[in-house]
Amino acid sequence: MAVEVIPMDSSMQLVYNIGEDGEGKVLTRRRTFTNIKPDANEEDLFDVAVAFQSLQEHDIADIIIIDKKALENV
């Protein structure tokens, strides 16, 4: 059985360290940017994340790319 993979929209999540709670647990917040072209270059996405960092008060802990793909039987 042959399967065709069809790229769909991607999204990028920026995870920020915003401090610690009273028990010393690290607190984070996420910002998700949707409708990113599936063929976007990872280096370009990283550069965009770094540019957003310069506009934020808190440091970025993680940059997460989520790729959505559809599978079709051919």
> What is the pLDDT confidence band of residue 1, given thresholds at 50, 70 and 90?
confident
Tell me what pLDDT residue 9 has: 87
Q: Among 61, 64, 65, 66, which Cα is nearest to 29's? A: 61
How many domains does one find in the chain? 1
Q: Mind listing the pLDDT tens digit for each residue in 18-29? A: 999 999 999 999
3-state SS assignment for residue 52: helix
Asked if 49 and 12 touch (Cβ cutoff 8 Å), the reply is yes
Tell me what pLDDT residue 37 has: 87
Q: Which domain holds residue 54?
A: 3-73
Q: How far is CA 24 from the centre of its chain?
A: 26
For residue 47, give the amino acid letter. D
Tell me what pLDDT residue 66 has: 94
